[in-house]
Amino acid sequence: MKSLREALAWAEKNQVAIGHFNISDSEGFKAVVEAAKELGVPVIIGVSEGERAFIGLQEVVSLVKIARGNGLDVFVNADHTYSMEKARAAIDAGMDSVIIDEAGKPLEENIKLTKEIVDYARSRTKGRTLSIDSQGSTLVEGELGFIGVSSKVLEKLPDGVSQDSQTKPEDAKRFVEETGIDLFAPSVGNVHGLVKSGQPKLNIERIKALREAVKVPLVLHGGSGISDEDFLSAIAAGIRVIHINTELRLAYKEGIAEGLKSGEIAPYKFMETGVEEMKKVVRERLRLFNKL
């Protein structure tokens, strides 16, 4: 697979979902890529605005280029981007995809701003040198329906997330058609972060209805804490990318804390347990999403 578009077509054909894991640094990158390599499946590296500011936009693109050069199907996504300027910068850097997140705005405004980024991505298809997509285009993901904004451990469901806030198929159809997005992230009972009082159940019937209503791959955000059974039903209903962040962050932190207990001062030694703990999470999720 040379491009993310091809990987998505492969996932559709095989009725599986591609795992999307957020990272902040090269240790996270190493953990995700090594786990995907072991299992021989494609994977998406996600970097939010904060994460990509930390690792560096060009730096993460370079790491992905190296992995791709080694024959691995590794892609990089500029996760939740709230500023138009940062979305354009991600496209200019040649990232495989960018999420313009205007889900907090009214539908009309969300359509207008999302379409602006789609048009920009298309206009940059030709003549750029940094592209890592064989087709030269950064895919654009749009989001409709509120699912919360935090990748933390939450005491309860965030305010504003309810059955009512789930994406309606007729709105989704209009949103996808009018913006021309390549990937669509709906609200279907999923929520960002890990909810202590229990993760809500996914609305599988709604996923099926959305799949019928729109022609682009569906992306499930806020995967941390969702049950295996719900994941498999969601994949069968048409989800093609699943985002995992919070549980990877927890594994990393706990792994490093363990590594530091030894009194070791060589970073490559005390960080190793952090990498190993992250790999365990990634492996387990990739096996489930790819039905291995």
Cβ atoms within 10 Å, residue 37: 16
Give the shortest CB-222-to-Zn ion separation in angstroms: 6
| Stretch of 156-164, 201-209, 214-222, 275-283 lying at the interface with Zn ion (CB under 5 A) | 214-222
**Residue 22 to residue 203: CA distance in whole angstroms:** 24
Nearer Cβ to Zn ion (52/221): 221
Nearer Cβ to Zn ion (11/220): 220
| Stretch of 26-34, 68-76, 219-227, 261-269 lying at the interface with Zn ion (CB under 5 A) | 219-227
Element (H, E) at 205: helix 204-213
Active-site residue, from 73, 79, 182, 230: 79
Buried b (16+ CB within 10 A) or exposed e, 62-84: ebbeebbeeebbbbbbbbbbeee
Nearer Cβ to Zn ion (211/221): 221
CB nearest Zn ion: which residue?
Answer: 221
Nearer Cβ to Zn ion (148/259): 148
| Stretch of 81-89, 129-137, 215-223, 259-267 lying at the interface with Zn ion (CB under 5 A) | 215-223
Counting DSSP H helices and E strands in the chain, the numbers are: 12, 10
| Stretch of 23-31, 170-178, 217-225, 258-266 lying at the interface with Zn ion (CB under 5 A) | 217-225
Reading the block at residue 119, the tokens are 């048009």
**Neighbouring-strand partners of residue 47:** 78
Give the shortest CB-142-to-Zn ion separation in angstroms: 12
**Candidate list 211, 221, 240, 249; residue touching Zn ion; CB under 5 A:** 221
Reading the block at residue 134, the tokens are 């064989």
β-pairing verdict for 43-47 and 74-81: parallel
Rounded to whole angstroms, what are the CA distances from 73 to 168, 182, 207, 218? 33, 19, 27, 20
Nearer Cβ to Zn ion (88/221): 221
**Residue 203 to residue 10: CA distance in whole angstroms:** 25
Give the shortest CB-46-to-Zn ion separation in angstroms: 8
230 among known catalytic residues = no
Give the shortest CB-62-to-Zn ion separation in angstroms: 24
Give the shortest CB-150-to-Zn ion separation in angstroms: 10
HSE-CB at 61 with a 13 A cutoff on CA atoms is 21
* DSSP annotation of 199: P
**Residue 145 to residue 265: CA distance in whole angstroms:** 46
How many of the chain's residues bind Zn ion (CB under 5 A)? 1
In the complex, the residues that contact Zn ion under the rule CB under 5 A are 221
Catalytic residues: 79
